[in-house]
């Protein structure tokens, strides 16, 4: 067991002093849950702390740097690639107690929050003031804004509004040594100095611990509407999706589910898409009521040549939610198909989606696996769920082979290993297929500018 996995007496005394009562945990029983995340990986923390103040985090990062203790900060533990798992041991810092909305300013169109706040809680508070924080990862009801920031989370509305990165105006973070850094600011535009704000965003906890986020707000769109469409096959559905953009429409969301994904939710979905549907598109538009009505008509015209088998439009909130429900249920429903999955979020240039989907289907056929295919195709972002039974070593090996082929395929189409989940531990073995040694060395040097001794989430991301 390396030193990082054993807490010295001095370290324990330090933590007990600065994180009194239940703000620190040292027993395996208490710490166990802090060793995992939605990647289903696990490693036991050396200690767990639950700070309530920035000062506690500053003290911790001064001590940790001096004593070379790894630090793994976590929000709500929904990361899918292992970013919250203390694989090299170390102190897990749960940000869950720092979850306050510090400010919502309807004149500045700014919110200031602590990183442990659940994204959906902020959105609910904003909606009451007709304000809008655009990023909406699928985990919006249970993931935190700090986690979203650390992974640069995407979500369904990214096609129109961009990703988390585009909605963080500034942030406060503690870096190793305990110094407090203020990056960016409170204005919607700001070009003073190097853009450390966006460097922190997506850094997967490798540079410091974010302690405050200043978010860009927009006016809440007055209306939304959704059009659901079923097509004979994946290729036709993707052709129809392309025709929406070609018609000059930028939808709020453009989502896709292929046949196997539809089958997975068939039992729990009340949406009456036809049995023969090979793929479904869900297209949401937003704006004024008039704009939304006009855009839905334009979308219907644009997809006409792809001959949809079925269509259903929804303009009321409840009707819309009903159409979206199967998409939201897809992740939990997927485990009805098989007990285990490899879940990837590959992304290809929008024009390569049909090639990617065809290649993934071919891989599934060749290897005799069920692969659920769905995702944010407005961004070229495909969620690929390779279903298998990990207890069957042959099937597990075939699933692994499928993953390798699919990642290689997407890179060959000039895509990326991850559109929104990050690299973490899961994608690290594939990283050299995308980044050159020059780029990895550069990232390591940039990290060292923040974290010269490599204590922040070591062994992750890049």
Site for a copy of itself in 430-449 (CB under 8 A): 431, 434-436, 438-440, 442-443, 445-449
Of 64, 242, 282, 387, the residue at the interface with a copy of itself (CB under 8 A) is: 242
Give which of 228, 376, 246 is closest to 296, Cα–Cα: 228
* Smallest distance from a copy of itself to CB 190, Å: 4
Of 28, 103, 127, 219, the residue at the interface with a copy of itself (CB under 8 A) is: 219
128 binds a copy of itself (CB under 8 A): no
Output the six-digit token pair for 259. 């046949």
CB neighbours (10 Å) of residue 376? 24
The residue among 27 and 436 lying less far from a copy of itself, judged by its C-beta, is 436
CB neighbours (10 Å) of residue 406? 23
Only one of the segments 161-169, 226-234, 267-275, 385-393 lies at the binding site for a copy of itself (rule: CB under 8 A); that segment is: 161-169
175 binds a copy of itself (CB under 8 A): yes
* Smallest distance from a copy of itself to CB 461, Å: 7
**Residue 310 contacts residue 232 (beta carbons within 8 Å):** no
Considering only residues 86-105, where is the footprint of a copy of itself by CB under 8 A?
Answer: 105
* Smallest distance from a copy of itself to CB 329, Å: 23
- Between strands 91-94 and 71-74, the pairing is parallel
Q: How many residues bind a copy of itself (CB under 8 A)?
A: 99
315 binds a copy of itself (CB under 8 A): no
Only one of the segments 40-48, 154-162, 307-315, 395-403 lies at the binding site for a copy of itself (rule: CB under 8 A); that segment is: 154-162
DSSP assigned state of 220 = P
Q: Reduced to 3 states, what is the DSSP secondary structure of residue 35? A: helix
DSSP assigned state of 306 = G
| Residue found by looking up tokens 């071919």 in the block | 362
Of 144, 203, 236, 269, the residue at the interface with a copy of itself (CB under 8 A) is: 203
For the CA atoms of the chain, what is the radius of gyration?
23
Q: Reduced to 3 states, what is the DSSP secondary structure of residue 269? A: coil
Terminal Cα-to-Cα distance of the chain (whole angstroms): 24
Rounded to 5°, the CA angle 92-96-100 comes to 140
159 binds a copy of itself (CB under 8 A): yes
Only one of the segments 3-11, 179-187, 229-237, 314-322 lies at the binding site for a copy of itself (rule: CB under 8 A); that segment is: 179-187
Binding mask 260-299 for a copy of itself (x = CB under 8 A): ---------------------------xxxxx-xxx--x-
Element (H, E) at 361: helix 353-367
* Smallest distance from a copy of itself to CB 109, Å: 6
194 binds a copy of itself (CB under 8 A): yes
Considering only residues 339-368, where is the footprint of a copy of itself by CB under 8 A?
Answer: 347-352
Of 66, 102, 124, 222, the residue at the interface with a copy of itself (CB under 8 A) is: 222
Sign of the CA dihedral running 114, 218, 288, 252: negative
Only one of the segments 27-35, 117-125, 276-284, 418-426 lies at the binding site for a copy of itself (rule: CB under 8 A); that segment is: 418-426
Considering only residues 107-126, where is the footprint of a copy of itself by CB under 8 A?
Answer: 107-110
Give which of 335, 241, 325, 225 is closest to 279, Cα–Cα: 241
**Residue 96 contacts residue 34 (beta carbons within 8 Å):** no
The residue among 15 and 234 lying less far from a copy of itself, judged by its C-beta, is 234
Only one of the segments 52-60, 119-127, 220-228, 326-334 lies at the binding site for a copy of itself (rule: CB under 8 A); that segment is: 220-228
Q: Please, which residues bridge with residue 227 across strands?
A: 283, 313
317 binds a copy of itself (CB under 8 A): no
Considering only residues 25-84, where is the footprint of a copy of itself by CB under 8 A?
Answer: none
Of 154, 308, 326, 458, the residue at the interface with a copy of itself (CB under 8 A) is: 154
Give which of 88, 56, 54, 53 is closest to 72, Cα–Cα: 88
179, burial (CB in 10 Å: exposed 0-12, middle 13-18, buried 19+): middle
């Amino acid at each position: 067991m390396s030193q990082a996995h054993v807490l010295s007496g001095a370290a324990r005394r330090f933590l007990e002093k600065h994180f009194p009562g239940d703000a620190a945990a040292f027993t395996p029983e208490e710490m166990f849950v802090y060793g995992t995340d939605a990647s289903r990986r696990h490693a036991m923390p050396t200690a767990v702390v639950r700070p309530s103040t920035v000062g506690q985090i500053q003290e911790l990062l001064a001590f940790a740097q001096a004593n070379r203790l790894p630090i793994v900060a976590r929000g709500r533990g929904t990361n899918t690639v292992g970013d919250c798992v203390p694989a090299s041991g170390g102190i897990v810092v749960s940000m869950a107690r720092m979850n306050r909305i510090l400010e919502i300013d309807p004149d500045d169109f700014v919110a200031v929050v602590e990183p442990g706040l659940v994204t959906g809680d902020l959105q609910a508070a904003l909606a009451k003031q007709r304000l809008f924080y655009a990023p909406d990862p699928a985990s919006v009801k249970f993931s935190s804004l700090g986690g979203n920031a650390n992974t640069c989370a995407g979500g369904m509305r990214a096609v129109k509004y961009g990703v988390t990165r585009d909605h963080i105006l500034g942030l406060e973070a503690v870096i190793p040594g305990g110094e407090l850094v203020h990056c960016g600011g409170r204005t919607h535009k700001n070009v003073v100095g190097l853009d450390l704000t966006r460097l922190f965003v997506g850094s997967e906890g490798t540079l410091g611990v974010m302690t405050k986020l200043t978010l860009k707000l927009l006016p809440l769109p007055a209306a939304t509407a959704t059009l659901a469409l079923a097509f004979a096959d994946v290729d036709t559905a993707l052709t129809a999706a392309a025709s929406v953009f070609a018609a000059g429409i930028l939808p709020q969301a453009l989502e896709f589910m292929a046949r196997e994904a539809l089958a997975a939710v068939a039992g729990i979905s009340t949406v009456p898409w036809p049995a023969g549907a090979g793929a479904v598109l869900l297209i949401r538009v937003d704006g004024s009521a008039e704009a939304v009505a006009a855009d839905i008509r334009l979308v219907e015209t644009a997809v006409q040549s792809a001959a949809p088998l079925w269509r259903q439009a929804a303009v009321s909130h409840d009707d819309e939610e009903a159409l979206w429900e199967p998409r939201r249920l897809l992740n939990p429903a997927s485990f009805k198909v098989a007990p285990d999955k490899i879940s990837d979020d590959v992304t290809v240039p929008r024009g390569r989606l049909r090639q990617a989907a065809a290649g993934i289907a071919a891989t599934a056929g060749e290897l005799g696996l069920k692969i659920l295919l769905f995702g944010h195709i407005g961004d070229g972002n495909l969620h690929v769920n390779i279903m298998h039974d990990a207890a069957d070593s042959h099937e597990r090996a075939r699933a692994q082979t499928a993953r390798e082929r699919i990642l290689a395929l997407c890179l060959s189409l000039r895509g990326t290993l991850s559109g929104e989940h990050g690299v973490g531990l899961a994608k690290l073995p594939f990283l050299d297929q995308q980044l050159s040694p020059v780029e990895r060395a550069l990232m390591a040097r940039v990290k060292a500018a923040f974290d010269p001794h490599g204590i922040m989430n070591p062994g992750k991301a890049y």
